[in-house]
Chains A and B, each alone.
Chain A
Amino acid sequence: MVSAPLHVRKLPLRCIVPKVLMRGNHVLAEAAIRAGCRFYFGYPITPQNEIPEYMSERLSKVDGGVFIQAESEVASIHMVIGASMAGGRVMTSSSGPGISLKQEGISFLSALELPAVIVNMSRGGPGLGNIAPSQSDYFQATRGGGHGDYRNIVLAPSSCQELANLTYEAFNLADQYRTPVIILGDGMLGQMMEPVELPPEVQIKKLPHKDWTLTGAKGRPSRFLRSLILDPFEEEEHNWKLMRKYERITKEEIRWETYFADDAKLMVVAFGIAARIAKGAIKRMRDEGQKVGLIRPISLWPFPYKAIKEITKKVRHFFVFEMNMGQMLEDVKLALEGNGEVHFYGRPGGIILTPLEISRVISSYYYQKRLG
């Protein structure tokens, strides 16, 4: 039974919305529907089951809404491809092992240049792992994930409010660039409840026209969408075309946030829920007079390399926190280009870092290096 939506639905549209207390997975689902998502295909896996449950109820009450609980993750991502080819705003969601199964379809979405939103409420891995929150799917999300030379836009929210905002945004980015967009959350973000201001409902008819969809060749020449390009020169050209698109995205869509960065002598780099926890630690240390700041990449691809590099002009000490064994760490090292000192602290396997734990680790380093 879905609990949260009832009072949400009664809200009048297009007015200042009071905050509602909702669970992360419900927030994401509601934001998707408000962004015009009318097609959802998924398969149950913990800790994201509230998303299909919510979509199942909500889409049955929305004009043109389609919900299918597919026979597999593989089938669900290919249903996404079908609905996307037809021009719909479409989403699927899963967690670690399910996202691995969807990689075939994600590679095809990229090759066929089809918009779609794919949610990973990640859990401890590898293998079946567990159902506790983890950030160990960073590599999979940011490096393409499936076969072939491609990238996906990856957005990593760290609060329920940001989950609403970024999900909403994800559908626009997917349509604008004709590319899959991944929301990389984790079990904690999906399960926790926070007060949220929900975005307004878009009017689907006012969304930009798509001139590439497969809707039957009425009053126009027939079209086809394909990813098989046998001639290597043509395939190379297609890859260059994708690459030019990725360059445009890299130029326009990098997102990050800083926190107490102005006078920091040590900068923490963390994303998603780990950054949220790090903020707690930093606040604690600031109270004790330690000059620690944070930079939080919000788009994990494209990654804010320049923003991090820029910080090295003032700060030499970097601490990377992740709920994995050091995946974003590699991007931070690339960003630093050998400048400054970078240290890592992470807990894999579904362990949630605590602010106290982080502040202890940083404090001991901070005093050891005589930063304060």
Chain B
Amino acid sequence: MKKVFSRPKSLKKTPFHYCPGCGHSLLHRIIGEVIDEMNLQEKIIGIPPAGCAVLAYFYFDIDMGEASHGRAAALATGMKRAQPDKVVFTYQGDGDIAAIGTAETIHAAARGENFTTIFVNNGVYGMTGGQMAPTTILGQITTTSPGGRNERRDGFPINLSEMLAVAKGSAYIERTAVNSPANILKTKKAIAKAFRVQLEGYGFSLVEVLSPCPTNWKMDTLESCKWIDEVMTTHFPLGVLKDITGDKKDAH
């Protein structure tokens, strides 16, 4: 019988620890598929963050080096500059990249560092129990914004990808989501394109992925997916924010 569906070669045979409905497992799988399809397993190095995805090195069967909270872009800079022929990617959450690691990320983009960032935006600090994140939208209830995020007290959420698109050194920035089959496929294509942008030496590439966190959003999986479409995307619109390659064709 022909095998039509199996675990990507670049994922280990370890069950994910993520909560039901979480976007991380989906995203790990599609990154694994892209690594396999682009034949990158032997030349790619991943930088997992502090956060829910910190244990990514238990799931990806590729070389991985842990970064402290927010410093993945700096670590990736040193890593990639030391071995420019390899493919380097960071995998970071919203708190990691858009709060504590903002400086590292913006400067890596401005320098045009030739690595790829997968930015998982779920609007909360997941691993620490659902506190307000830099991307928590106005009115959203979290454990540190119990009455809903209030701009007078908590300030406005940050649209980091738009900021990074302004940076002269960034080459490709796209925002996608993993809340529907169509969006998952688009995310996979975006990741493949980001890796290709890196392989071709264009500079900094980033894919922001709106990802459900049903546990901390206090919603079920379907509600979470719907909330991304109906609420989250109005604050963080999907689409290509920057592409200097002038290349419209898909990676595959």
Given contacts A88-B82, A214-B45, A218-B42, contact A82 B65 (CB under 8 A): yes
What residues of chain B lie closer than 8 Å to A86, measured between beta carbons?
A: 78-79, 82-83
Instruction: Evaluate contact between B63 and A224: CB separation under 8 angstroms.
Output: yes
> Which residue from B41, B68, B78 sits with its C-beta under 8 Å from A79?
B78
Near A by CB (< 8 A), chain B positions 60-100 give 60-68, 71, 73-83, 86-87
Question: Is chain A's interface secondary structure helix, strand, loop, or mixed overall?
Answer: mixed
Instruction: Evaluate contact between B78 and A39: CB separation under 8 angstroms.
Output: yes
Q: How far is the CA of A216 from the CA of B39 in the complex (A)?
A: 12
We find that the number of chain B residues with CB closer than 8 angstroms to chain A is 38
Q: How far is the CA of A88 from the CA of B75 in the complex (A)?
A: 13
Given contacts A216-B44, A216-B86, A228-B54, contact A68 B68 (CB under 8 A): no
- Total A-B residue contacts, Cβ distance less than 8 Å: 133
Instruction: Evaluate contact between B66 and A75: CB separation under 8 angstroms.
Output: no
Query: Which B residue sits closest to A71, measured CB to CB?
Result: B107
Near B by CB (< 8 A), chain A positions 32-82 give 39, 41, 66, 68, 70-72, 74-76, 78-82
Instruction: Evaluate contact between B78 and A222: CB separation under 8 angstroms.
Output: no
B57 at the A interface (CB under 8 A): yes
What residues of chain A lie closer than 8 Å to B36, measured between beta carbons?
A: none
A348 at the B interface (CB under 8 A): no
B103 at the A interface (CB under 8 A): yes
Binds B, one of A104-112, A136-144, A319-327: A104-112
Near A by CB (< 8 A), chain B positions 25-48 give 41-45, 47
We find that the number of chain A residues with CB closer than 8 angstroms to chain B is 39
Q: How far is the CA of A84 from the CA of B75 in the complex (A)?
A: 10
Q: How far is the CA of A224 from the CA of B62 in the complex (A)?
A: 8
Given contacts A78-B67, A104-B68, contact A83 B43 (CB under 8 A): no
Instruction: Evaluate contact between B75 and A82: CB separation under 8 angstroms.
Output: yes
Given contacts A75-B103, A216-B43, contact A222 B61 (CB under 8 A): yes
Q: How far is the CA of A223 from the CA of B77 in the complex (A)?
A: 19
Query: Which A residue sits closest to B72, measured CB to CB?
Result: A78
Instruction: Evaluate contact between B61 and A217: CB separation under 8 angstroms.
Output: yes
Q: How far is the CA of A337 from the CA of B83 in the complex (A)?
A: 51
Q: How far is the CA of A104 from the CA of B111 in the complex (A)?
A: 23
Given contacts A68-B77, A215-B63, contact A75 B71 (CB under 8 A): yes
The minimal Cβ–Cβ distance linking A283 to chain B, given in whole angstroms, is 46
Instruction: Evaluate contact between A217 and B62: CB separation under 8 angstroms.
Output: yes
Q: How far is the CA of A86 from the CA of B79 in the complex (A)?
A: 6
Residues of B within 8 A of A (CB): 41-45, 47, 50, 54-55, 57, 60-68, 71, 73-83, 86-87, 103-104, 106-107, 111
Q: What 3 pairs across the A-B complex have the smallest Cβ distances?
A: A82-B78, A224-B57, A79-B78
Residues of A within 8 A of B (CB): 39, 41, 66, 68, 70-72, 74-76, 78-88, 90, 104-105, 108, 112, 214-219, 222-228
